[in-house]
């Protein structure tokens, strides 16, 4: 059984990534003065509202299927599948951006090894870990997450001392528009904190999940605020904003050459949990989608040796590597950060609507968590996050174009290809129950399943 400490570590660990430093600095880039903390804090508070919606949804429909189930019940199967697929595709992009950022950090530490080589090494290592079923969890997850947070607070404190920092203009944002854009991108800092909700069945008291999420968002808000404000005050802002490795620039300024080692260790620790959780979640999603016949059956192949969906894992590797290479050659890593921020905003907005719809649809609710003040918080969550998603797209038209293209493609796939796949699967399956009922239970003859057709042990 998981403890509150591990729930907080899991929730926070999923969001703490190397690319989070890039997003944090982008937040500072939108704002004047030392007001980055304000945007991070507002983003955190908004995520708490979204977290409340997820807690209620998990109470209504407790299942590891998460948004796939909530949105399915609220909006229908096709919409749920479309949104889930798009979300997973964008998270794959985040994994690609993550390996790009980490490769850049490692390349600064060991310049002889090109970023492309690092990307391949990192992704192959993460893929092999996943195929072997190695999972970062429990005490190890706790150590990484809390160690990361303490380390970031410590270096921020050293930075404060070094530049003799004084908070001169904590509320000077440069205008409401700037604050709005900063908050919108700042949502990326919390991407995935709600992924801890499926663990509801693994804790002694399901309320621990809500508490853990809220604590994680609170802790992350403090850590990110401190890092962003101090880093933006220590290093020229233009230099930080245009760099894919702002944490390294900041660490070098504070610690000198030792800062490179700090940045490498911190980035590796931040990325390892993101790679692990990201790749496991995406590959399991691929597997589950194939099992419900919405993807070709090949994606449901499993390794008998390691009990992992190896084809799905390899597919994630192939897409992730392709995206990383595209990012490496185009330098458009921020597009993926913005797409992820917008997708997260859209998912949170839909979560708010789902709460309202499911409150009406499912009235038979036992003693589960209900957000106080009736529809206020879900309505505010929906309105604010929908606006923030639109704000990200206005700020970054590339992100809007790519998201629209992805949405169109997936919409077409779900409406045209999935029905064909489902029909094919239905036709190929012999109805054992009906045939058995017709022949009578006394015969007890059960057709042998095509288990021998499955030859997954090819890893």
Partner 1 sequence: MATHQEITESLKAFTEGYSKNQRLKAMNRDWDRNVLVLADDIESAHTLVLKDGELSFSEGKTVDPDLTVISNSDTLADMFFGDITPTEPYMNGTLRIIGSEDDILRLDFISLLIWGE
Q: Report if residue 300 touches partner 1, rule: CB under 8 A.
A: yes
Residue 112 vs 433, nearer CB to partner 1: 433
Contact flag: residue 446 with partner 1 (CB under 8 A): yes
d(CA 374, CA 359): 10
- Measuring CA to CA, how many Å separate 317 from each of 3, 82, 280, 303, 340? 32, 21, 11, 16, 19
Minimum CB distance to partner 1, residue 297 (Å)? 4
Stretch that binds partner 1, among 34-42, 235-243, 399-407, 444-452 (CB under 8 A): 444-452
User: Binding of partner 1 at residue 454 (CB under 8 A)?
Assistant: yes
Among 5, 211, 237, 284, binds partner 1 (CB under 8 A): 284
Stretch that binds partner 1, among 91-99, 118-126, 209-217, 441-449 (CB under 8 A): 441-449
Q: Which stretch binds partner 1 (CB under 8 A): 36-44, 225-233, 330-338, 429-437?
A: 429-437
162 and 234 Cβ atoms separated by less than 8 Å: yes
Return the range that interacts with partner 1 (CB under 8 A); candidates 94-102, 119-127, 231-239, 423-431: 423-431
Q: Which of residues 49, 126, 199, 388 is near partner 1 by CB under 8 A?
A: 199
CA 107 from chain centre, in angstroms, equals: 25
Cα–Cα dist 105/111, whole Å: 10
User: H-helix or E-strand containing 260?
Assistant: helix 258-291
* Distance of closest approach, residue 346 Cβ to partner 1, in angstroms: 20
Whole-angstrom Cα distance, residue 19 to residue 286? 24
Q: Which of 179, 194, 178, 177 is nearest to 345 (CA)?
A: 194
- How many residues at the interface with partner 1, by CB under 8 A? 43
Kindly state the tokens that stand for 265.
């260790």
Residue 3 in the binding site for partner 1 (CB under 8 A)? no
CB closer to partner 1 out of 248 and 311: 311
Among 3, 5, 75, 77, binds partner 1 (CB under 8 A): 77
Whether the CB-CB separation of 392 and 325 falls below 8 Å is answered with: no
Q: What is the 3-class SS of 30-62, one letter each residue?
A: HCCCCCHHHHHHHHHHHHHHHHHHHHHHHHHCC
Taking CB under 8 A as the criterion, which residues in 139-198 touch partner 1?
Answer: 198
Q: Is 213 in the site for partner 1 (CB under 8 A)?
A: no
**Which residue's CB is nearer to partner 1, number 64 or number 407?**
64
Is 291 a binder of partner 1 (CB under 8 A)?
A: yes
Confirm or reject binding of residue 255 to partner 1 (CB under 8 A): no
Helix (H, G, I), strand (E, B) or coil at 298: helix
Residue with smaller CB distance to partner 1, 211 or 436: 436
Of positions 132, 292, 326, 459, contacts partner 1 by CB under 8 A: 292
CB of 77 to partner 1, least distance (A): 7
Q: How far apart are CA 278 and CA 272, in angstroms?
A: 10
Is residue 252 part of the contact set for partner 1 (CB under 8 A)?
no
When asked if residue 201 is in the footprint of partner 1 (CB under 8 A), the reply is yes
Q: Binding of partner 1 at residue 372 (CB under 8 A)?
A: no
Number of neighbouring beta carbons within 10 Å of residue 303: 18
Residue of 167, 429, 439, 458 that binds partner 1 (CB under 8 A): 429
Calpha distance 232→30 (Å, rounded): 11
> Smallest Cα–Cα separation from 228: which of 153, 309, 332?
153
274: tokens are 């993101």
Q: Cα(357)–Cα(338) distance, rounded to whole angstroms? A: 29
Site for partner 1 in 45-74 (CB under 8 A): 61-65, 68-69, 72-73
Q: What are all long-range contacts of 63-68, with beta carbons under 8 Å and residues at least 24 apart?
A: 63/198, 64/198, 64/201, 65/198, 65/288, 66/195, 66/197, 66/198, 67/347, 67/350, 67/351, 68/288
Binding-site member from 124, 204, 437, 439 for partner 1 (CB under 8 A): 437
Q: Which residues bind partner 1 (CB under 8 A)?
A: 61-65, 68-69, 72-73, 77, 198-199, 201-202, 284, 288, 290-293, 297, 300, 302, 304, 307, 425, 429, 431-434, 436-437, 441, 444, 446, 448-451, 453-454, 457
């Amino acid at each position: 059984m998981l403890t509150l400490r591990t729930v907080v570590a899991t929730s926070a660990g999923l969001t703490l990534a190397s690319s989070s430093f890039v997003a944090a600095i982008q937040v500072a880039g939108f704002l004047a003065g030392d007001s980055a903390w304000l945007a991070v804090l507002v983003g955190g508070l908004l995520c708490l509202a979204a977290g409340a919606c997820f807690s209620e949804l998990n109470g209504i429909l407790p299942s590891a299927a998460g948004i796939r189930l909530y949105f399915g019940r609220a909006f229908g199967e096709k919409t749920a599948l479309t949104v889930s697929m798009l979300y997973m595709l964008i998270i794959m992009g985040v994994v690609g951006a993550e390996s790009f950022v980490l490769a850049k950090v490692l390349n600064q530490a060991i310049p002889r090894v090109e970023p492309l080589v690092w990307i391949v090494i990192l992704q192959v290592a993460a893929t092999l870990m996943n195929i072997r079923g190695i999972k970062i969890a429990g005490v190890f997850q706790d150590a990484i997450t809390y160690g990361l947070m303490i380390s970031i607070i410590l270096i921020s404190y050293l930075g404060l001392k070094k530049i003799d920092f004084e908070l001169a203009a904590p509320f000077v944002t440069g205008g409401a528009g700037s604050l709005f854009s900063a908050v919108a991108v700042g949502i990326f800092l919390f991407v995935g904190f709600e992924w801890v909700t499926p663990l509801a069945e693994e804790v002694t008291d399901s309320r621990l999940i809500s508490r853990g999420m809220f604590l994680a968002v609170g802790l992350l808000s403090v850590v990110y605020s401190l890092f962003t404000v101090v880093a933006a005050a220590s290093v020229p802002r233009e230099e930080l904003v245009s760099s894919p490795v702002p944490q390294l620039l900041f660490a070098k300024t504070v610690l000198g050459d030792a800062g490179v080692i700090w940045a490498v260790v911190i980035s590796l620790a931040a990325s390892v949990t993101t790679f692990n959780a990201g790749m496991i979640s995406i590959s399991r999603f691929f597997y589950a989608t194939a099992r419900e016949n919405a993807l070709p059956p090949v994606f449901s192949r499993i390794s008998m040796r390691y009990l992992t969906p190896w084809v799905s894992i390899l597919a994630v590797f192939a897409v992730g590597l392709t995206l990383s290479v595209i990012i490496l050659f185009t330098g458009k890593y921020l597009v993926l950060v913005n797409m992820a921020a917008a997708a997260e905003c859209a998912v949170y907005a839909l979560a708010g609507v789902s709460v309202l719809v499911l409150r009406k649809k499912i009235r038979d609710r036992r003693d589960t968590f209900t957000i106080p003040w009736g529809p206020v918080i879900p309505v505010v969550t929906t309105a604010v996050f929908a606006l923030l998603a639109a704000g990200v797209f206005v700020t970054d038209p590339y992100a809007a174009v790519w998201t629209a293209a992805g949405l169109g493609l997936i919409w077409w796939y779900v409406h045209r290809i999935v029905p064909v796949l489902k029909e094919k699967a239905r036709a190929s399956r012999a109805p054992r129950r009906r045939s058995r009922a017709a022949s009578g239970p006394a015969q007890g003859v059960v057709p042998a399943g095509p288990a021998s057709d499955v030859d997954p042990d090819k890893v």
